[in-house]
Amino acid sequence: MLRRRRDLGDLRGRRPRQRGANAAQRDGKGVSHMIRLTINGEEQEFPNAIPLIEYVSSLGVNPKMIAIAYNGEVLRRDEWEEITLSEGDAVEVVRAVGGG
């Protein structure tokens, strides 16, 4: 039994659009290289492993005003440069708030 091809109409020959700034980077075989991290309890996808210090920098906050827990362990600031976030890691970013 032969199956009919679906009528693709205007879509034939077009490449699918990438979705958002963090769209999956693909190799020539269509394999995704996205990694999943849990940031402040929410799962997020990134195009590849990212140094923690680079992630902190992307937040646009004063690093002296935050604390970071990496996979359940609070890190000293001098440890931030040693860590590269990869698949399955969990990060909690806590901002210091002044008050009185």
User: What are 20-44's pLDDT values in tens digits?
Assistant: 333 444 455 555 579 999 999 999 9
Instruction: Show the tokens assigned to 71.
Output: 């996979």
- Residue 4 included in any domain: no
- Residue 58 included in any domain: yes
The CATH number of residue 66's host domain is: 3.10.20.30
Report how many domains make up the chain. 1
Beta pairing class for 35-39 and 90-95: parallel
- Residue 14 included in any domain: no
Q: Please state, in angstroms and rounded to a whole number, the distance separating the CA atoms of residues 38 and 16.
A: 27
Name the burial class of residue 38, with classes exposed (0-12), middle (13-18) and buried (19+) by CB atoms within 10 angstroms of its CB.
middle
What digits encode the pLDDT tens for the residues 47-95?
999 999 999 999 999 999 999 999 999 999 999 999 999 999 999 999 9
Domain that residue 88 falls in: 34-100
- Residue 26 included in any domain: no
Q: Please state, in angstroms and rounded to a whole number, the distance separating the CA atoms of residues 48 and 86.
A: 8
Apex CA 23: angle with CA 17 and CA 24, to 5°?
Answer: 105
Q: Which residues, 6 or more positions from 41, have their beta carbon under 8 angstroms from its beta carbon?
A: 92
